[in-house]
Amino acid sequence: MVWFYKRHDGALRIETRFDAVTNEYVLDVAWPGRPTETERFIDAEQFRLRTIALEQQLDADNWTQVGGPDILPHGWRGDFLH
């Protein structure tokens, strides 16, 4: 799934997925002006807790979600267009 956020100084994208090759949950965050940060989790609960913490951080830092999450076809990894 992909979520988009915005605020006065830019936009960011969060992508969550399961990597069937490594059996890991993956969290990618594309911050404005920085390379994408990738975190990997073998435990679903730790992954869930991290995504909640990130959501809380974004809220505290005045990021606004743009639309709802987009469910992407398996394997899609396109450019950040928003």
pLDDT digits (tens, 9 = 90+) for 62-79: 999 998 766 655 554 444
pTM over 0.85: no
Q: Give CA–CA dist 44/24, Å, rounded.
A: 9
Tokens of 31: 């911050």
Instruction: Return the pLDDT at 82.
Output: 37
Q: Give CA–CA dist 33/61, Å, rounded.
A: 17
In this structure, what is the dihedral angle of CA atoms 12, 20, 48, 41, given to the nearest 10 degrees?
Answer: -90
pLDDT single digits (tens) 28-44: 999 999 999 999 999 99
Q: Give CA–CA dist 70/21, Å, rounded.
A: 23
Instruction: Return the pLDDT at 76.
Output: 42
Segment 4-27 mean pLDDT: 93
